[in-house]
Amino acid sequence: MRVAGPLATALGELLRSMADDEFVIGFSDSEWTGIAPLLEEDVAISSLAQDEIGHAAALYGLLGGLTGEDPDAIAYDRVPAAYRHCRLLDHGRGDWAMTIARRYLYDTADGVRLEALVAGSWPPLADLVGKLAREERYHRMHAAVWLDRLARGGDGTRSRLLAALATLGPDAATVFAPLPDEAALIDAGILSLPMADLEARWRASIAPAFATLDLPLPPSARDPARGRLDHGEPFSWLWREFNTVRAAEPGATW
Amino acid sequence: MSEATAHRAVAGARASLGELPEELDVATVRAALGEVPDPEIPVVSVVDLGMVEEVDVRADGIHVMLLPTFVGCPALDVIRSAVEERLRSFGRRVDVRFDYRVPWMSDRITPEGHEKLRRSGFAPPAASQPDQPVLVQLGAPVACPNCGSRRTVLENAFGPTQCRAIYHCTDCRQPFEGFKTI
């Protein structure tokens, strides 16, 4: 299948949004390395972060193949406003409850998105997604176990989770913010359904767990069209953090 | 001088003289790949791990397609260089690429790989059950590689590398690592 013209642009936007999501949540999680609340969690969250950065690298690789850019340059050499991760990931690391709530909301949404791509018509992405989906099952398991644990925890624990969901909930559906020209991706068979339909599928998928734990389901996104824009100060901080080495030593390689 | 080293020396000398390399078959290349260790668990080779999907010897060189165990595995570049270095001794152009066309699964680890893992203190992965939830799969009893007991507990689904989980044996009371079922 040949990808060119408007389809290449639309595919590029899809890859950029997915890669930026994985990159940003990976770096946010890595902020816990060394200071997670339990030793076992220090290992787990660091491993999750490593997975996500690896997924981002693979997706930036596909994007670079499409645009001719160097994947590292795409990852690091943009101004904060040019990143296209969803606003769900723009709230800073926060406490452990924020981290778990963010991971749960993102991992469940990402799982639905991957399902909509795995049988897609562009082999490089469909093949990679098949592999990513296997790894992401472990992430969803981790988030689900912790969501359950925090929701059933004592007052202080549960109230922190509720506060985290109140903060993140309104931005949860931004994972499914409509992409520029996503109709082209659907026509070409790369993406199986519009983002709006995937959002409905995601809501249905998390509803049973939220009902069991008596947690409030996230509302609709306030302004879906801007769901991957206007990142704000917490992201600018993270951007400076993950660019520290790149800025200190331009062109450095491992 | 071992046979393999001698073979390499001869091939190298021929290549440097600009002579046509001798006939090379896929089995010989595969055997050479069996000598390339995984950098994180060096007791097993890339062949034991089931990472070698395709080997092709063509007029323009040796082509190898490897399957990454994990997408973000930081050892991939090291593995690629090790494979290239080993195969260059055949005096031909070497092309190594990673591909996701076939997803690597822990079920691809060979019986020899299982045995080598066990002998070095790693529990080999349980057979995958794609229809089962991850937690059920992880709950499958894993035998302790130290004492063989099946009374073991999963301590952490995540370990020191992406492909490992951490267990504890309630009989010999030793912690041990297991290869993740994926």
Reported as a single tens digit per residue, the pLDDT across A87-136 is: 999 999 999 999 999 999 999 999 999 999 999 999 999 999 999 998 99
Chain A interface mutation, best of B97, B134, B135, B182, highest count of A Cβ atoms under 10 Å: B134
Does B141 score more than 90 pLDDT?
no
Does B83 score more than 90 pLDDT?
yes
Residue A244 has which token pair?
């520290």
ipTM score over 0.90, yes or no: no
Give the A:B interface size as CB pairs under 8 Å.
74
Instruction: Please state the rounded mean pLDDT for residues B60-70.
Output: 96
Chain B interface mutation, best of A134, A149, A253, A254, highest count of B Cβ atoms under 10 Å: A134
CATH of region B3-98, choose from 3.10.105.10, 3.40.50.720, 3.30.950.10, 3.30.300.130? 3.30.300.130
B133 at interface of A, judged by CB pairs closer than 8 A: yes
Phi, psi of B154 (to 5 degrees): -75, 120
Q: What is the pLDDT of residue A1?
A: 74
Does A10 score more than 90 pLDDT?
yes
Pick the closest to residue A108 from A84, A127, A88 (CA basis): A88
Angle at which helix A39-67 crosses helix A123-151, to 10 degrees, equals 160
Chain B interface mutation, best of A25, A38, A47, highest count of B Cβ atoms under 10 Å: A47
Cα–Cα distance, B157 to B169 (Å, whole number) = 15
Cα within 13 Å of Cα(A88), Cβ side: 33
Question: Which residue has tokens 């069209």?
Answer: A225
Pick the closest to residue A153 from A223, A97, A72, A234 (CA basis): A97
Does B128 score more than 60 pLDDT?
yes
Cα–Cα distance, B85 to B36 (Å, whole number) = 10
Cα–Cα distance, B7 to B5 (Å, whole number) = 5
Q: What fold, for A5-248? A: Ferritin (1.20.1260)
Cα–Cα distance, A235 to A203 (Å, whole number) = 26
Long-range contacts (CB closer than 8 Å, 24 or more residues apart) made by A213-219: A213/A147, A213/A148, A213/A151, A213/A152, A214/A151, A215/A151, A215/A161, A215/A162, A215/A165, A216/A162, A216/A165, A216/A166, A216/A169, A217/A169, A218/A105, A218/A165, A218/A168, A218/A169, A218/A170, A218/A172, A218/A173, A219/A169, A219/A170, A219/A173
Chain A interface mutation, best of B69, B100, B164, highest count of A Cβ atoms under 10 Å: B100
B32 vs chain A: nearest CA distance in angstroms?
27
Q: Among B70, B103, B158, select the one facing A43 at the smallest CB separation.
A: B158
Please, what is the Cα angle at B160 between B157 and B161, to 5 degrees?
85
Cα–Cα distance, B87 to B102 (Å, whole number) = 23
Residue A56: pLDDT band with limits 50, 70, 90: very high
Residue B160: pLDDT band with limits 50, 70, 90: confident
Q: Do A142 and B73 touch (CB under 8 A)?
A: no
Helix (H) or strand (E) holding B167, with range, is strand B164-169
- For A161, counting Cβ atoms within 10 Å of its Cβ (0-12 exposed, 13-18 middle, 19+ buried), the class is buried
Q: What is the pLDDT of residues A148-176, one digit of tens each?
A: 999 999 989 999 999 999 999 999 999 99
Does B137 score more than 80 pLDDT?
no
A187 at interface of B, judged by CB pairs closer than 8 A: no
Question: Which residue has tokens 């824009």?
Answer: A229
A156 at interface of B, judged by CB pairs closer than 8 A: no
Does B3 score more than 60 pLDDT?
no
Q: Do B72 and A58 touch (CB under 8 A)?
A: yes
A40 at interface of B, judged by CB pairs closer than 8 A: yes
Q: Do B71 and A128 touch (CB under 8 A)?
A: yes
Does A187 score more than 60 pLDDT?
yes
Q: What is the pLDDT of residue B1?
A: 46
Q: Among A43, A58, A141, select the one facing B156 at the smallest CB separation.
A: A43
A221 vs chain B: nearest CA distance in angstroms?
30
Long-range contacts (CB closer than 8 Å, 24 or more residues apart) made by B40-44: B40/B75, B40/B161, B40/B163, B41/B117, B41/B120, B41/B122, B43/B116, B43/B117, B43/B119, B43/B120, B44/B109, B44/B113, B44/B116, B44/B117
Q: What is the pLDDT of residues B25-40, one digit of tens each?
A: 999 999 999 999 999 8
For chain A, percent of residues with pLDDT exceeding 70:
100
Q: Which residues of A touch B157 (CB under 8 A)?
A: 44, 138, 141-142
A57 at interface of B, judged by CB pairs closer than 8 A: yes
Pick the closest to residue A56 from A94, A87, A98, A85 (CA basis): A85
Q: Do A141 and B155 touch (CB under 8 A)?
A: no
Does B10 score more than 70 pLDDT?
no
Cα–Cα distance, B167 to B165 (Å, whole number) = 7
Domain range summary for chain B, segments of one domain joined by +? 3-98, 121-179
Q: What is the pLDDT of residue B129?
A: 80
Closest chain A residue by Cα to residue B77:
A254
User: Radius of gyration of chain A from Cα atoms?
Assistant: 18
